[in-house]
Amino acid sequence: MHVPVVIVGSGPSGLLLGQLLHLAGIETVILEQRSKAYVLGRIRAGVLEQGMVDMLERAGVGARLRAEGLVHEGFDILFEGRRHRVDLHGLSGGTDVTVYGQTELTLDLMNARDAAGAKTVYEAEDVSIHDFDGERARVRYRKDGLEAWLECDFIAGCDGFHGVCRQSVSPSRITTHEREYPFGWLGVLSETRPVSEELIYVSHPRGFALCSMRSHTLSRYYLQCGLEERVEEWSDERFWEELRRRLDDAANRDLVTGPSIEKSIAPLRSFVAEPMRFGRLFLAGDAAHIVPPTGAKGLNLAASDVHYLSGALIDYYRTNNERGLDAYSQRALRRVWQAERFSWWMTNLLHLFPENGSFGREMQRAEFAYLTASRAAGMALAENYVGLPY
């Protein structure tokens, strides 16, 4: 069977790409190793840049986002007990962010794909990609024990950090850059009223914490934890007790605790693979890069990759011109590196790095002091957090 584009991965990257190509009349097949329920069960990102909101609107999946998304004009930083509000709206010239869970936008995109009658093969096993340097690329997979092959013009590797596509490229053709952080994030989802209207990023001598949300009745909290820690060691009671230790009196007064409905530990890393194109294979999203979630960039970077890749593919099929495809990797990486820098900077500002000693902590204090005193510093933070232009 021949199909113009085979997309590996049914996460936000793959689904958004599939939807934009469908709207342009370009057929795709998505191959996903997990079940639909498993993909929807993963609790991940929560903050959308306006650029991503605009893309979801263009993709025709903005209705629930408009109805249920929470527009945020700023957030607080609580640094060693001192609160500072970052006025995103005022400092960025009027741009806000929208709080809307990745799970929800993934569901919206899945529903749109089903409505379009576009094919996704869930629980596709042993996906492998072939001949992506040739005249025709091929993808092999197994479903219900039966082997199947797809011939295609292009393969979109939207299969995340551990996916098969990047791993299928000869190491001699790919350059990777990586930093692994010496801690993780312990995340909890609870059906409780969020502690505040806006997010609170906390830097405390005991470690980083983040108070976020998914709605007015669903809260998302994170604690910096050791890499050796296991989620089984963290009862709800222990989690809430540690969170309270890192919050100030005002937040502790307003904190509503309750049973966790999801609890997980995620490692933090910065990672970039260059280039993002290998013949007929194009990498997008986490398949090509990872950021620590501190700057809320992971999901939003996937959106800008898809913006560039979908535009290039649509241009190709309309004009037979490969200029967009040839420019994809360089265009995407320019924005990737800016998001990598910002995510690295915000992670270094707010987390505990005991190995950096007292000088390192004084540098964090000086950075925070500058941020609170300088409008220019605030503007730099705000323009990166709301999202640099595509």
Q: How far apart are CA 382 and CA 367, in angstroms?
A: 15
Sign of CA dihedral 308, 309, 315, 316: positive
Tokens at 114, concatenated: 């089903």
State in angstroms the smallest separation of the CB of 385 from ligand PHB: 9
Tokens at 322, concatenated: 């490969």
Please give the positions annotated as active site.
Answer: 72, 201, 293, 297, 385
Judged by CB under 6 A, which of 88, 158, 312, 313 binds ligand FAS?
158
Judged by CB under 6 A, which of 30, 281, 296, 382 binds ligand PHB?
296
Q: How far apart are CA 307 and CA 75, in angstroms?
A: 27
State in angstroms the smallest separation of the CB of 375 from ligand PHB: 23
> Are the C-beta atoms of residues 384 and 340 closer than 8 Å to each other?
no
> Are the C-beta atoms of residues 201 and 350 closer than 8 Å to each other?
yes
69 binding ligand FAS? (CB under 6 A): no
Cα-to-chain-centroid distance, residue 188: 17
Here's the x/- map for ligand FAS, 178-217, by CB under 6 A: it reads as: ----------------------------------------
The strand pair at 207-215 and 200-204 is best described as antiparallel
The strand pair at 207-215 and 47-48 is best described as unpaired
184 binding ligand PHB? (CB under 6 A): no
Here's the x/- map for ligand FAS, 296-325, by CB under 6 A: it reads as: xxxx--x-----------------------
Residue 110 or residue 291: which is nearer to ligand PHB going by CB?
Answer: 291
Tokens at 3, concatenated: 């199909």
Piece of 87-95, 151-159, 245-253, 291-299 that binds ligand PHB (CB under 6 A): 291-299
State in angstroms the smallest separation of the CB of 295 from ligand PHB: 6
Q: What is the CA radius of gyration of the chain?
A: 21
Give the interface with ligand PHB as residue ranges (CB under 6 A). 45-47, 199, 212, 220, 293-296
Give the interface with ligand FAS as residue ranges (CB under 6 A). 8-14, 31-34, 39, 44-46, 102, 124, 127, 158-160, 162-164, 266, 285-286, 293, 296-299, 302
